[in-house]
Amino acid sequence: MLFNLMMNYWSNLKYRRHMTDKPIRSKANLTLGIVTLQDFRNYGNRLQNLALVKTVEKLGYHPVSLLPRAERPNFKGLSPLLRQKQWQFIDFSKRYLDYDYSDSKEWQRYDKVIVGSDQVWNTSWMSPTRFSNYLLSTVPSLRRIAYAVSMGRSDFASQELTDMFENEILKFQYISARETQVADVIARQSHERVPIVLDPVLLLSANEWQETLSLASVHTKQQVLTYFLTVPSHNTKNFISDIISKHELNLVAFNDETQPENFVRDPRAFVQEIKNSRLVMTDSFHAVVFAIIFKVPFIVVPREDGQKMNERIEQLFNLLQLQPRWLSDVTQATAFKVDFEPVADNLAAAQNISFEFLKTALATKEEFSRESH
């Protein structure tokens, strides 16, 4: 269903929405900025930022990640472990990304600005000023692009933020969403359907990730990797223990302070260890995505924290025609058995739609405004 929505939208598209101190000019002498969440302790966030940069570079552009001065990393109140982890993430970001640390009012000097991916429109933790940044309110209307935006919820945290969204959404030249739920919200406000596109992480192949991050080859896989954003239940912990004991595997636990050596590791190590694993157990969307990319068997533990993570993963299963891999669907006997055969063709088709969206959005000149229609 999700794939059909993507195909129908693109085939029937009838309209065109209208560390550096300076923008970097690239293809067609165009300067391009990317605005996304800059969480220097979140693996998926840093990796999707890098993936979008690499994808746009493949199209001939040199993007710069824009970070408002007010959102620079803050170490206040962090434990020693979290401080160490944040430094690792900052080093990773500086190594792989170009940044422009400036006030958002200076973003208007860019020819095009992309907001996305990730939950850039999730107002659960945003002030009006911050939400305004992620709506690119300081960027001229015809220069705004939203790629694979997500919300993590189906509404906004206040009427003020709802009104802000209704006003600014009409000023985007091109909009795409990561989930159907977000496309529905946009349709209610703009009265237009927008395409569903892939999370940027899925736009790079296993070989491209290997090359980008200089990953080591894996000869034997003797570990189970766990990565939980919520506290796993007693039953989940028992399942993991039984798997490790029965198959004589090691446990590599990310985001678990009982393994401080892994807790502080950077995003490159996160991807490397997923690749190294015989099994991944997680409640994280991006951990699932990387397991799929490297064809590593995985099991998803549903989250119960009110976030829409379960819906996102279910949509991913449907899009790639993968059999569901929820913990309730898996036994000890089937834990390592995943049929990745349907993934390649379905992923390639969805990638083509996502690439075409970006190509068209970046190539289109400032000649059409949705506000006039």
pLDDT grade, residue 118 (50/70/90)? confident
The pLDDT of residue 160 is above 80: yes
Q: Is 46 in the same domain as 195?
A: yes
- Structure tokens given for 146: 């939203």
**Higher-confidence position of 262 and 141:** 262
Half-sphere exposure for 111 (CA within 13 Å, toward CB): 19
Q: Is 143 in the same domain as 155?
A: yes
Nearest alpha carbon to residue 17 among 223, 199, 191: 191
The pLDDT of residue 41 is above 60: yes
pLDDT grade, residue 310 (50/70/90)? confident
Q: Is 284 in the same domain as 231?
A: yes
Instruction: Name the residue with tokens 């999730």.
Output: 122
C-alpha span between 320 and 258 (Å, rounded): 35
Give the type of residue at 79: S
35: phi > 0 → left, psi -120 to 50 → alpha, else beta; which?
Answer: beta
Q: Is 8 in the same domain as 29?
A: yes
Rounded to 5°, angle at Cα 24 from 22 and 30: 120
DSSP per-residue codes, 184-219: HHHHHHHSS---B---GGGGS-HHHHHHHHTPPP-S
C-alpha span between 172 and 189 (Å, rounded): 13
Q: Is 212 in the same domain as 194?
A: no
Q: Is 354 in the same domain as 272?
A: no
Q: How remote is the C-alpha of 359 from its chain's centroid?
A: 19
Q: Is 264 in the same domain as 327?
A: yes
Structure confidence by residue, pLDDT tens digits, 51-87: 999 999 999 999 999 988 777 888 989 999 999 999 9
pLDDT at position 351:
96
The domain that holds 7 is classified in CATH as 3.40.50
pLDDT grade, residue 152 (50/70/90)? confident
Cis peptide before 117 (omega within 30 of 0): yes
Owning domain of residue 52:
2-203+349-372
- In this structure, the number of other CB atoms found within 10 A of the CB of residue 66 comes to 26
How large is the average pLDDT for residues 174-188?
Answer: 91
The pLDDT of residue 18 is above 80: no
Q: Is 269 in the same domain as 164?
A: no
Q: Is 78 in the same domain as 220?
A: no
- Structure tokens given for 283: 């409640």
The pLDDT of residue 6 is above 60: no
The pLDDT of residue 305 is above 50: yes
Q: How remote is the C-alpha of 243 from its chain's centroid?
A: 30
Q: Is 142 in the same domain as 58?
A: yes
Q: For the chain, what is the domain count?
A: 2
pTM for this model (two decimals): 0.89
SS3 category, 28? helix
How large is the average pLDDT for residues 161-170?
Answer: 92
Q: Is 68 in the same domain as 187?
A: yes
The pLDDT of residue 17 is above 80: no
SS3 category, 327? helix
C-alpha span between 152 and 62 (Å, rounded): 29
Q: Is 264 in the same domain as 338?
A: yes
